[in-house]
Amino acid sequence: MIPDDIAAPFSLDAAPVRGRIVRLGAGALDPILRRHDYPRPVAMLLGEALALAALVGSLLKVEGRLVVQAHGEGPVSLLVAEHAAGGLRGYARLADGAADRLVRANRIPPAELLGTGSLLLTLDQGPAKAPYQGVVELEGGTLAQCAETYFRISEQTDTRIRLAVGEVLTRDAPSLWRGGGMLMQRVASDPARGDTSEDWSRASILFNTLTDEELIDPSLGVDRLVYRLFHEEGARMGDAIALADRCTCNEERLTALMRTFGPDEVADLIEPDGFLHARCQFCARFYLIPPERVTQASEITSNFE
């Protein structure tokens, strides 16, 4: 059985389908969601966004950082999930008082949590290349439906997506956040394949039988799940890649950002202990940065005379 915290490709011999399946657990999802103690509906939506980032990021044939971002004017003003080389990180920003209003809620549709807003998918290949970005309105009862609309409009590719997040409760251990996702895309017709619409329709009917419970079931490996769904279509699994909770923040990057501030701004940020304080909103790591690393000591001194 293929373990948790992976993304794996699959294809079907008898249908024009390529896809990805993702399973997230103790190593790649639970620590991200526990770190900020989000209300349950926010944790579930962020977990789905992380699964989506892993699905789309592992599908790409180029290296880079895949960012799933949604923003609006609702209780959750910003949602960000990133995938880069198997590393995942995510963050949700709540409006004032939103945590108290959501404390007893369960699943809430994205448009209700985020309000009127947009879903953006961005591929960042570094400073040498301009980022590629697609955007779609937050329409649909689930994040998966919003993402399907994105692929239909921006990529003009028939795509089916299913995302699931939940807590697994055990008698003798703390609950564990688990997530899963499956993405299935239609391979375009060509002279060799002929018309693929009927085969795609058959595969889509099978895809529709996929349940949330199957996507997060710790006793059901992703290889067994793909076979359960598509064994009559000749399912083939490819090599899985490992996924992990891995933030890309570091002191050098934060210092470089602070160097863009003016001397007066830097001086105003110095705390009574003599350091600049910074906390990563993703991993909550706390940094103490000496001011002299950001600007010349003489410039800072002159602002206090």
Instruction: Provide the pLDDT confidence category of residue 154 given band limits of 50, 70 and 90.
Output: confident
Return the percentage of the chain with pLDDT > 90, whole number: 57
Assess whether 198 and 279 both reside in one domain: no
Q: Are 22 and 55 spatial neighbours (Cβ–Cβ below 8 Å)?
A: yes
Residues 289-301: what's their mean pLDDT?
A: 66
Instruction: Provide the pLDDT confidence category of residue 131 given band limits of 50, 70 and 90.
Output: confident
Residue 14 lies in a domain: yes
Residue 243: is its pLDDT beyond 90? yes
Q: Domain range spanning residue 263?
A: 251-302
Assess whether 88 and 191 both reside in one domain: yes
Residues 247-275: what's their mean pLDDT?
A: 87
Q: Are 150 and 69 spatial neighbours (Cβ–Cβ below 8 Å)?
A: no
Assess whether 72 and 195 both reside in one domain: yes
Note the pLDDT of residue 297.
Answer: 40
The structure tokens 């992703």 sit at 222
Nearest to 47 by CA among 25, 78, 77, 19: 25
For residue 196 the two structure tokens come to 């693929």
CATH number for the domain spanning 282: value is 3.90.1280.10
Residues 115-124: what's their mean pLDDT?
A: 89
Assess whether 42 and 94 both reside in one domain: yes
Residue 1 lies in a domain: no
Number of domain units in the chain = 2
Assess whether 208 and 297 both reside in one domain: no
Assess whether 180 and 34 both reside in one domain: yes
Residue 293 lies in a domain: yes
CA pair distance 198, 16, nearest whole angstrom: 10
CA dihedral 248, 251, 253, 255 (to 10 degrees): 160
CATH number for the domain spanning 34: value is 3.55.30.10
Residue 158 lies in a domain: yes
CA pair distance 238, 115, nearest whole angstrom: 39
Assess whether 190 and 62 both reside in one domain: yes
Instruction: Provide the pLDDT confidence category of residue 300 given band limits of 50, 70 and 90.
Output: very low
Note the pLDDT of residue 191.
Answer: 64
Assess whether 195 and 102 both reside in one domain: yes
Residues 214-233: what's their mean pLDDT?
A: 95
Assess whether 33 and 125 both reside in one domain: yes
Higher pLDDT, 281 or 88: 88
Q: How high does pLDDT run on average in the chain?
A: 89
Residue 177 lies in a domain: yes
Element (H, E) at 49: helix 40-59
Note the pLDDT of residue 305.
Answer: 37
Assess whether 150 and 282 both reside in one domain: no
Higher pLDDT, 79 or 126: 79
Return the number of other C-beta atoms located less than 10 Å from residue 18's C-beta: 16
Element (H, E) at 88: strand 87-94
Residues 178-206 have pLDDT tens digits of: 999 999 999 877 666 667 888 999 999 99
Note the pLDDT of residue 262.
Answer: 82
Note the pLDDT of residue 115.
Answer: 86
Instruction: Provide the pLDDT confidence category of residue 296 given band limits of 50, 70 and 90.
Output: low
Of 74-83, 92-101, 255-264, the poorest mean pLDDT is in 255-264
Assess whether 177 and 261 both reside in one domain: no
Residues 109-119 have pLDDT tens digits of: 898 899 888 89
Residues 104-126: what's their mean pLDDT?
A: 88
- Give whole-number Cα distances, 108 to 31, 89, 91, 140, 295, in Å: 22, 22, 17, 12, 46
Residues 250-272: what's their mean pLDDT?
A: 87
